[in-house]
Amino acid sequence: MTVTLRSLETAVPETVLIQSEARDVFATQPGLTRLGQRLVTTSFDQSGIDTRHAAVDELTTARRAENPVFFDAGSRQLLSPSTKVRNDFFAAKATPLFIEAAGKALAACDGIGPEDITHLITVSCTGFFNPGPDYKIVRALGLDPSVQRYHLGFMGCYAAFPALRAAKLFCDADPQAVVMVVSAELCTLHVRTSNDPDTIVGSSLFADGAAAAIITARDLEETGPAIRLDHFETILTPVGEESMAWNIGDEGFEMVLGTYVPHIIDEHIVGALEPLLAREPALAAKPYRDIEHWAIHPGGRSILDKVEAKLALTEEQLVPARETLRRYGNMSSATVMFVLKHILEQPPGAAEERICSMAFGPGLTVETGLFTKTVPAVTLQAQHTAAAAAV
């Protein structure tokens, strides 16, 4: 019996933020010091991001709201709505994203219908409401009202891993279980102007998006690439508690993303991987680059640079993470799911390819997973046939 991620789909809001335009807005906010302006320019320009998606459509300079709440396009000034206003906005705008991603994942999973879902796990750290997104998904998609529902809240960027791990545990316990995991984050609700370096870094990185997966051990026909969930591990680094945090303030949630985080990762990433790779001694004895795919949560470009250098990975192995960062920014817990989807959609080189995945969050917490991308023989044959025809 193997627990397999059978489908993985994503969803993003329609509004697209151009990074250079966002930089110019943040760099001209009232109250910024000269140092603050320089930090804004540097953080945005060196982020590795071209575009991000935002549920707050006011944030684009092309749209002028009659009664702006988050951004006044006329004066180009960022506003400071209360935490309640932001959270109400989350409840209104996150719900459609949760439902869209979940619906797409269900539609993409051959052999599974709404009536088959036995467990639903929702994930978010950017807002709260109840009845929550789990309830909304059950009603919108017509899931069984008795489906077991769980919500993982306020864990941060690594939260997809506890969700996937819980899904695996449910399926290990019951081979007929079918688990839906849905993560949605509206990080742009909480961006703000500031001279604080940590806040500036967060404003240059965070974005909105959602992802959903269907996971089961049922013996279903293999119709496309899938991901076998092999092992998970969790590590707390001995330092870093003050370097990454997520707190609730009067004017939104306040992200602490210290500039020292990449150095902490550089110093502790090898140790964080040891328990995971020890699950398979033959794999642990090989160089890291022998693992075909690396699904790294792109917390920022400097983090990816440290991972690539420390583990001696190739540029190609970091393409899924860097491309996700470039196109979508950091969507907190949903981001690593986008990276895994990128890997799923890459042309397969073999029937089985290993994936090492990791994400970082408050604590400093390092979550890791060892997976296997599986490809049906018919898919491989079709690819070989197409390649031969092209030659």
Q: Which of 109, 157, 171, 187 is catalytic?
A: 157
List, for residues 163-207, the tens digit of each pLDDT value.
999 999 999 999 999 999 999 999 999 989 999 998 999 999 999
Across 301-309, average pLDDT: 94
pLDDT interval class at 128 (50, 70, 90): very high
Q: Is the peptide bond before 364 cis (omega within 30 degrees of 0)?
A: yes
pTM (predicted TM-score): 0.95
Confidence of residue 336 (pLDDT cuts 50, 70, 90): very high
Looking at residues 204-230, what average pLDDT do you find? 95
pLDDT at residue number 59: 87
Q: For residue 187, indicate whether it is catalytic.
A: no
Query: Is 383's pLDDT higher than 90?
Result: no
